[in-house]
Amino acid sequence: MRNMMGNSSHGHIDVAVVGAGILGLAHAFAASRRGLRVAVFERSSAPLGASIRNFGMVLVTGQPPGLMHALARQSRELWLHLAPRAHFSARETGSLLFARDAREHAVLEEFMITRARQHGYDVSLLQGERLAALYNGRFRHHRSALHGMRDLQLYSREAIPALVCYLQSQGVQFHFNTLVKEAGDGMLETSAGDVHAERTVVCSGHDYQTLFADRLQAMQLKQCRLHMLRAVAQAPLPLTHAVLTGLSCTHYGAFADLPAAALLQAHIKEHSPALQRHGIHLLVSPTPYQELIIGDSHHYGNDALPFQQEEVDTLLLQLAEHTLGVNLKVVERWQGVYGAKGPGPFSVLSIDDQTTAVLMHSGVGMSVGLALGERVMAALISGNNLPDAARDLF
């Protein structure tokens, strides 16, 4: 062993966390609030992965009933606990999902009279005068809007670094620019030396090649690549809600298996093949600075190709301009990548008695990650069952 960093210069480590994305931070927070000594190892100089590239939507409404809905509700409370302490913005205005026509409206109606009632989704369907009252009638051209009252809006590029600072103030050690090359049986081999920790939680996002490569390869995981835009409206638009359209009903588990959503999906496939081809459904997130984050496209593969087709950005902008009723000017573009296509929406893998890996396989880590970290740490400490997406989902 080279140069032991764990016990000498940094003291005893109860929990080592690999990765400073939202999942790593969630586990660090859950361990630290239980009085454990925590060290986080992150290969980059700051969190630069999926957790700062996203829309910052904490979507409770979109989650399927059961475990994911429960995780999102619990995560929402944790975000609201952390926001004033770590000094980041968490808007509680909720989301507006606009049905642009009768087909999209049919999905919302079915959702309201079936699932929303049965499973206690906190939503309201706005039509007629209530729709017209929104933003001085700006959204009158839509058929209806589902107001997701529990959905939160974060600005991730600020919230994630603020969370790091807060955890540092609570005694969590952060080792940036430190790649973890191997982890197991209470040892971590890092680019800055070897470390001993009582327990290790690996939250390495969509990197399937550095740690536990054989096990992850056998799971046939994929990466999902997304086009992301930051834009400013060319006329005053003081938007405070996250915005979605009926297209999102074919994407999110709360709606996607409803019969009306299947009809909508078939219609999109036939009449809007480009949206289908690029996996596009519109999401718009207002930032605290009167700007809008716009996406959401999906291209899946073993690796995220670097090439971004202009057609995708054009389609996203057209959808956003029609939905918001305003012209937009793009001020920034980036590529987002997240882990996808696993055996469920996430996996909690027991690597050995002291090592656990927690990976998201769907694009909802900001919505469920804090609660997942809380439940995994609670289970590891108590010896109870770890959360299992396959077992607990329905």
Ligand X SMILES: Cc1cc2nc3c(=O)[nH]c(=O)nc-3n(C[C@H](O)[C@H](O)[C@H](O)COP(=O)(O)OP(=O)(O)OC[C@H]3O[C@@H](n4cnc5c(N)ncnc54)[C@H](O)[C@@H]3O)c2cc1C
- Tell whether residue 294 is a contact of ligand X (CB under 6 A): no
* Min separation Cβ 271 and ligand X, Å: 26
Q: Residue 34 CA to chain centroid, in angstroms? A: 25
- What b/e sequence results for 69-106 when a residue is b if at least 16 CB atoms lie within 10 Å of its CB, and e otherwise? bbbbbbbbebbeebbeebebbbbeebbbbbbbeebbbb
Map residues 253-292 to x or -, x wherever contact with ligand X holds by CB under 6 A: ----------------------------------------
The rounded distance, in Å, linking the Cα atoms of 70 and 371 is: 9
Task: Sheet containing 187-190: give its strands across.
Answer: 180-184, 187-190, 193-196
Judged by CB under 6 A, the stretch of 14-22, 89-97, 303-311, 383-391 that binds ligand X is 14-22
Tell the smallest beta-carbon distance from residue 136 to ligand X (Å). 27
Among all chains, which residue has been given the structure tokens 């361990």?
A: 31
324 counts as binding ligand X under rule CB under 6 A: no
Q: Does 18 bind ligand X (CB under 6 A)?
A: yes
CB of 29 to ligand X, least distance (A): 12
Residue among 13, 15, 17, 23 that touches ligand X (CB under 6 A)? 23
**DSSP label of 328:** E
Q: Which is nearer to ligand X, 55 or 121 (CB)?
A: 55
Distance of CA 53 to the CA centre of its chain: 10
DSSP 13-77: -SEEEE--SHHHHHHHHHHHTTT--EEEE-SSSS--SHHHHS--EE-STTSPTTHHHHHHHHHHH
Q: Which of 20, 107, 163, 312 binds ligand X (CB under 6 A)?
A: 20
Q: Are 17 and 201 in contact (CB under 8 A)?
A: yes
Give whichever of 104 and 151 is closer to ligand X, judged by the CB atom: 151
Tell which one of 30, 31, 36, 57 touches ligand X (CB under 6 A). Answer: 57
Instruction: Please tell me the count of residues contacting ligand X according to CB under 6 A.
Output: 42
- Name the minimum Å distance from CB 364 to ligand X: 4
Least CB distance to ligand X at residue 141 (A): 25
Pick out residues in 226-255 that bind ligand X (CB under 6 A). 226, 228
State which H helix or E strand residue 190 sits in. Answer: strand 187-190
Pair 278, 92: CB distance under 8 Å:
no
Q: How far apart are CA 377 and CA 29, in angstroms?
A: 10
When asked if residue 180 is in the footprint of ligand X (CB under 6 A), the reply is: yes
Among 86, 203, 216, 320, binds ligand X (CB under 6 A): 203
Position among 29, 98, 252, 338 found at the interface with ligand X (CB under 6 A): 338
> Residue 335 forms beta bridges with which residues?
227
Nearest-angstrom CA–CA distance, 161 and 138: 35
Taking the least distance from each CB to ligand X, the nearer of 17 and 268 is 17
d(CA 388, CA 300): 24
Q: Does 41 bind ligand X (CB under 6 A)?
A: yes
Between 105 and 367, whose beta carbon lies closer to ligand X? Answer: 367
CA atoms of 257 and 259, how far apart (whole Å): 6
Q: Given the rule CB under 6 A, which of 2-10, 161-169, 256-264, 332-340 is the region that contacts ligand X? A: 332-340
Q: Which is nearer to ligand X, 42 or 158 (CB)?
A: 42
Q: Kindly list the residues in this chain that would bind ligand X in the complex (CB under 6 A).
A: 18-24, 41-44, 47-51, 53-57, 59, 179-180, 203-205, 207, 210-211, 226, 228, 295, 336-338, 360, 363-367
